[in-house]
Amino acid sequence: MNDASHDTRLLPALYVVATPIGNLGDITLRALDTLRRVDRVAAEDTRVSGQLLAHFGIRKPLVSIREHNEREAAERVIGWIAAGEAVAYVSDAGTPAISDPGARLVAAVRAAECAVVPVPGVSAVAAALSAAGVESDAWLFHGFLPPKPGPRQAALQAWAALPCALAFYEAPHRIAETLADMTQVFGGARMVTVARELTKKFESIETMPLAGTAGWLADDANRARGEFVVIVHAPADVLVAGDAESLRVLDILAGELPPPLAAKLAAKITGRTKAELYRMTLKQT
Ligand code: SAM
């Protein structure tokens, strides 16, 4: 690229740069611009990030920051920024600090009163949610569940009654047992979206009741391969029913007003979101 902006220096800061989770076309223009202009790139794995940079024709000094050396490496990064450098941090894929290292580095840099600049982009959980069709507005992200069955089931139990969608990351060697545990804890009727290999050649996004997941996996061994985001949809009663008072208010307003306006006013009165109330008006008609 011969854009003149690449010759200008970035302000001294830690630039937290999101990178693709499969399709390299998902890197943002700003991420490329930032990576071209920083003085050095700190990476979770210098080999992985070195390949990414090479693909885009970027050559920078690379420094390794892994979970076990994050604190001491942070001291070096702070030293570089204090000396006037712009430093990028990238994890292997997606957004740093989301089920990835980076949070400790960021905390240390902020504690040293150096600037931290997010350069946002892809995250697997956002990609999965965007295509899952969950109807609830609220969702919670758990990241990876505990690997052992006991703690995993306990973690699921703690979340079972929450009135929102639940998002998890999972590895191929555990996807079957995790979906089996979810079926047991959440009940077979609860809907789930299994998003696999997002943005890659074998991307698949399937929504089904949890009870159907064991048979679905058994039907094709390929369905358990790759990287997974699992989205458990909100309990059905949350999606269908409002609380009695919200329904009463909505009922009165919807008798006099068009649904969008009824939902807007009901949201102001009840404190629920307009989107939730609008969905309720549609279900009532
Ligand atoms: N920081 C990353 C992000 O922002 O998405 C996540 C890193 S975490 C170590 C890796 C996990 O993210 C994988 O085990 C998988 O659960 C999920 N993941 C990453 N890439 C994915 C993809 N292309 N399709 C589905 N899930 C993916």
Atom of ligand 1 nearest to the CA of 95: 4
Same domain, 69 and 139: no
Same domain, 11 and 112: yes
Final residue belonging to a domain, choices 85, 100, 122? 122
Same domain, 117 and 60: yes
State how many domains the chain has: 3
As to burial, measured by CB atoms within 10 angstroms (0-12 exposed, 13-18 middle, 19+ buried), residue 21 is buried
Separation of alpha carbons 268 and 248, rounded Å: 14
Same domain, 188 and 166: yes
> Could you report the per-residue pLDDT of 190-234, keeping only the tens digit for each?
999 999 999 999 999 999 999 999 999 999 999 999 999 999 999
Atom of ligand 1 nearest to the CA of 197: 24
Q: Where are the alpha helices (DSSP H) in the chain?
A: 29-37, 46-55, 70-82, 103-111, 124-132, 149-159, 175-186, 213-219, 236-240, 244-256, 259-270, 274-284
Same domain, 244 and 229: no
Same domain, 201 and 130: yes
* CATH code of the domain in which 32 resides: 3.40.1010.10
Domain range holding 135? 125-234
Please name the residues in contact with 197: beta carbons below 8 A apart, sequence gap of 6 or more. 22, 203, 204, 225, 226, 227
Give the pLDDT score at 262.
Answer: 87
> Could you report the per-residue pLDDT of 18-31, keeping only the tens digit for each?
999 999 999 999 99
Same domain, 114 and 137: no
* CATH code of the domain in which 185 resides: 3.30.950.10
Same domain, 247 and 182: no
Give ligand 1 pocket residues (Cβ under 6 A).
Answer: 21-22, 91, 93-95, 98-100, 123-125, 169-171, 195, 197-200, 227-229
> Could you report the per-residue pLDDT of 25-49, keeping only the tens digit for each?
999 999 999 999 999 999 999 999 9
Question: Mean per-residue pLDDT for 85-113?
Answer: 97
Same domain, 139 and 212: yes
Final residue belonging to a domain, choices 122, 138, 155? 122
Mutating to test ligand 1, I would choose from 19, 95, 99 the residue with most ligand atoms within 8 A of its C-beta, which is 99
Q: Is the confidence at residue 2, as pLDDT, over 50?
A: no
Final residue belonging to a domain, choices 122, 142, 158? 122
Same domain, 213 and 161: yes
Give the pLDDT score at 1.
Answer: 41
